[in-house]
Amino acid sequence: MRPPPEDADLLALAAAGDRAAFEAFYRRHAVWLTLRLRHRCADESLVDDVVQETFLELWHGGAARYRAEGDVAGWLWRIGSRRLIDALRRHGARHRLGRLLARLRGRDEPSAEEQVLHGVEHGDLAGALARLSPELRAVVQATVLDGLTTAEAAVLLGIPPGTVKTRAMRARRQLRQELA
């Protein structure tokens, strides 16, 4: 009996258009990717959409971008988590637009929670975050706003875990100074 093909081999075959290899790769990874993304987002339908988009990207040429360097699961997680972040941003923008349209139609004043969130989005914290360098802001986004662990943020950002920790420390220090 032959051992099952390696992930990298399945990706190479999928990149060449082998549907059976792609289906085997999907069956091997879809469940764990879904479960991990559900730890980041409670909206199951949004997570399901993100998982499907992730695998569709692989089927439509994304599998060819894997360079056989590093763990395939980490590479797939990076794609899926980035897609989830993009989907959450789109979802948040639609939600804010819906609140704005409701106010324009003359509904009730915004709740206290909405006022606090508005202050976070547009107040001193938003400005302080905007003034962070892109590298520091990316670490804050991944670890604080997206809730990733240091190791997951390292995979997502393509930097060592020690660099994530150092940048997080520098970002906290800068934010404390600006918000004091």
Classified by CATH at the fold level, domain 109-180 comes out as: Arc Repressor Mutant, subunit A (1.10.10)
Once rounded to an integer, what is the mean pLDDT over residues 84-100? 69
Q: Show me where the domains of the chain are located.
A: 1-108, 109-180
Q: Report helix, strand or coil for 82.
A: helix
What is the value of pTM for the model shown? 0.51
Measured between alpha carbons, how far is 55 from 10 in angstroms, rounded to an integer?
13
Whether the Cβ atoms of residue 28 and residue 14 lie closer than 8 Å to each other? no
Distance CA 112, CA 148 (A): 28
For residue 144, the 8-state DSSP code is I
What's the pLDDT tens digit per position in 100-138? 556 565 555 555 555 555 555 555 777 788 888 989 988
pLDDT, tens digit, for every residue of 7-57?
Answer: 777 778 877 888 898 898 899 989 989 998 888 777 888 889 999 988 888
Architecture of domain 1-108: Orthogonal Bundle (1.10)
Confidence at 69, pLDDT banded by 50, 70, 90: low
